[in-house]
Structure 1
């Protein structure tokens, strides 16, 4: 009788990949977690209880077949594990690195509910696909047959790239238009290397290019090419621009030198990691070295900013957030990593204004949590008379992102948008009221997770393929 390879959570403890020491990792932008060795990946996969109802899978936006590829990994059948993982996820090695597993798959692991500690799903997912790349199992796309239909995709972020992958595998001609000089969107210029090293993203871009996807980079839709022209060139268009407009605050001193947007700060840092000449960084404006840095916000973007500032050599880094630790939207794992690296969190604080030009301090008001607001979370209330000034040489605003006004920017008044500026679409398919125009990812959902953008891109591509196939059948009758 074959030995049972699974259900070892009773005897085998949860064990994450080794984390590099804070003093070492705060000096560079390399990823902070080491890779699993093969034996360790098998061991940790074997802890899976193979639930009859796998909550890890149902709480994954992509509904990845997690128990299946954990079992295959535990049995040493790694190439099969990769094939199962790749079947539902376009970029498993990216999700394994940056998904908030503590809120999704791992946060709903059954064995954790019984006190045994969750299976390290994200780390195993990363290991499977990194190994697949090393072994040459990841190959350029080779459609069985080419199709004449073409799709234009506006935006080379995760949603657009995922849609391109699905469409090219079926032989559709795909062109991606993006305003930046490298594809990847926030994967390339928004997320720091210590969470997602850039060669991981670049090799996916290369795989798509080798598979026949055409990239039109440094192409700003509405400036270099019109939206109408893109529609005229393609049978369908997918809008996957993401949301890049920074939420602003109204306070005395807004607009002084030394106040920077999170996206600008992170983009400058990531460009430097590519070896680019970045004037705003080289001039010292976006460089945190030797500065007292204050980051305003409590999401994952704020965590990226504080940890980037540490690596740039800031004198001190503080994060202001208007609620307490339990109510912050960012990953608790990221908060813990930031604290280990020397970031100080000032909970229940909010900016009231800014001192100096260039900035020398943030006027801070202390808060307390009151009655729940419309979302059910306790609303922050100002504590009168408890204001103080937090010294600062660089203040980074990480208050979230909003959609740009695409109907105006693109001269397309009929593009349907909500009152928040997000594009109105059909559920699942991503179809808009404009014939042949679809939208996916953050430009539909608002600022959300990479994994949701991947799901949207894949679902939309499948809907477009189904419509193309239906037209082909009608034409043949």
Structure 2
């Protein structure tokens, strides 16, 4: 037992990488957590209990082999740890940064349940892959042999990119179409740099390009190119568009100037602050929080991105209205804590009832209480009669979640079956849709969900596409 590298959770406490102070970090858009040093990564990995039933792995959507790469890290075998990590996850350094580990792997860690504090899985995962990039262990995609079959992927977000990676490694010709001028989807334009620095995303896209994936950017399917043309050009098509249609607000004054969508606000900020693009709406102040009293409406991770971005842009005050209490907040607990440290005020049990001013001057706020549980088991918020107040605001950001666009209409595809929520109806795991040779993955199937689930869907769908192409080839050869 003298050389036992693991099970040290009884002697060593949980320790996160150093977090920059709030006063310093709110001045820029750099990531807030420092990198683990090698000794610290080994130390924290050694806390893993190597339990017989690894709940961390079971609760990871990708079923990453977490205990094995923790052990390899503790033993100093970092290159092998990276290989094990990469085997199940296309983008481990991205998941290490943005996955809600407190709800997934770390939240289900056995030693966490026993009161010793979870293993810092996400931070170790990030450290392993960042080191792999630095050491040159991340190799260019090089298929053993090329194949003539091609796959078109609509959407360059995490689901589409994960599928592209798997298919290209198998030698298929892969073309990714996206409406934006840069690939990455919400990884590029939705998630702020303080959670995910953009060079981390760009180097993965560059790896795919060097490996032979073709990107056709600035292509709006249904306008610049028809869906039928894409189908004709490829043996299979994967729909990975995500969900970008913002849920809207009602009430008096909801159409006032100064009330904006979260996705527009975050995209403008990422373009201007992280890529240095000139963005007219940012320059004019329309999508810029500088010098303004900001009110963000919503309680998910997008709302957290908006409040923390507003602080960094120089807002005079930032308040977040959420209709339930802190315990029922859907966003990451860690993100709420970070936001509070940076000066965000949370107004729990509040909801907007209306807005004053042609250009918004204030939000009419309705105080709420929690009533009976709804169908999901969560208590439903209900208004408290007569409990209203005005919250001054110069900029109101709607972060109420996203819904799917009407692809049947936009793409002229009435045969594409959708659910009553408007998401594409697709077969579980394979992603097969009602159209022959057409598949769908990620949020356009699930509704707004996590990046890690999109990666899982992309990988699973790519395996199904390969199997179907092999089957077609075998039938054709008979």
Same fold (TM over 0.5): yes
Residue 356 of structure 2 corresponds to 355
Residue 183 of structure 1 corresponds to 183
Secondary structure at 2:352's aligned position in 1? strand
Give, in whole Å, the separation in 1 of the partners of 2:476 and 2:6: 52
- How many Å apart are 1:2 and its aligned residue? 6.5
Residue 255 of structure 1 corresponds to 255
- How many Å apart are 1:249 and its aligned residue? 1.7
Residue 444 of structure 1 corresponds to 445
Residue 99 of structure 2 corresponds to 99
- Do residues 155 (structure 1) and 121 (structure 2) align? no
Give, in whole Å, the separation in 1 of the partners of 2:279 and 2:476: 53
- How many Å apart are 1:331 and its aligned residue? 0.4
The unaligned stretches of length 5 or more in structure 2 are: none
Deviations 1:427-454 (A, max 9, x none): 1000001000000000000000000000
Q: How does 1:363-374 map to 2 (within 5 A)?
A: 363-374=364-375
Residue 426 of structure 1 corresponds to 427
Secondary structure at 1:336's aligned position in 2? helix
Q: How does 1:28-427 map to 2 (within 5 A)?
A: 28-272=28-272, 273-427=274-428
Give, in whole Å, the separation in 1 of the partners of 2:207 and 2:251: 47
Secondary structure at 1:174's aligned position in 2? strand
Secondary structure at 1:295's aligned position in 2? strand
Give, in whole Å, the separation in 1 of the partners of 2:473 and 2:82: 33
Secondary structure at 1:472's aligned position in 2? helix
- How many Å apart are 1:255 and its aligned residue? 1.1
Give, in whole Å, the separation in 1 of the partners of 2:346 and 2:11: 37
Deviations 1:80-116 (A, max 9, x none): 0000000000000000000000000000000011100
- How many Å apart are 1:476 and its aligned residue? 3.6
Give, in whole Å, the separation in 2 of the partners of 1:217 and 1:476: 36
Residue 465 of structure 2 corresponds to 464
TM superposition score normalised by structure 2: 0.99
Secondary structure at 1:386's aligned position in 2? strand
Give, in whole Å, the separation in 2 of the partners of 1:128 and 1:364: 46
Give, in whole Å, the separation in 2 of the partners of 1:466 and 1:385: 61
Give, in whole Å, the separation in 2 of the partners of 1:475 and 1:185: 37
Secondary structure at 1:57's aligned position in 2? helix
- How many Å apart are 1:36 and its aligned residue? 0.2
Deviations 1:200-226 (A, max 9, x none): 000000000000000000000001100
Give, in whole Å, the separation in 1 of the partners of 2:470 and 2:67: 33
- How many Å apart are 1:475 and its aligned residue? 3.4
Deviations 1:392-423 (A, max 9, x none): 00000000000000010001111110111100
- How many Å apart are 1:375 and its aligned residue? 1.2
Give, in whole Å, the separation in 2 of the partners of 1:65 and 1:82: 11
Give, in whole Å, the separation in 1 of the partners of 2:306 and 2:70: 34
Give, in whole Å, the separation in 2 of the partners of 1:356 and 1:453: 41
Give, in whole Å, the separation in 2 of the partners of 1:102 and 1:116: 15
Give, in whole Å, the separation in 1 of the partners of 2:181 and 2:2: 54
Deviations 1:264-300 (A, max 9, x none): 0000000012010100000111110110000000000
Give, in whole Å, the separation in 2 of the partners of 1:2 and 1:169: 43
Deviations 1:278-325 (A, max 9, x none): 000001111101100000000000000000000000000000000000
Give, in whole Å, the separation in 1 of the partners of 2:276 and 2:339: 25
Give, in whole Å, the separation in 1 of the partners of 2:115 and 2:58: 20
Residue 10 of structure 1 corresponds to 10
Give, in whole Å, the separation in 1 of the partners of 2:472 and 2:381: 54
Secondary structure at 1:176's aligned position in 2? strand
Instruction: Give the ranges of 4+ consecutive aligned residues of structure 1 lying more than 6 Å apart after TM superposition.
Output: none
Give, in whole Å, the separation in 2 of the partners of 1:137 and 1:469: 31
Secondary structure at 1:462's aligned position in 2? helix
Give, in whole Å, the separation in 2 of the partners of 1:472 and 1:320: 56
Give, in whole Å, the separation in 2 of the partners of 1:2 and 1:178: 55
RMSD of the alignment, in Å?
A: 0.7
Give, in whole Å, the separation in 1 of the partners of 2:122 and 2:132: 16
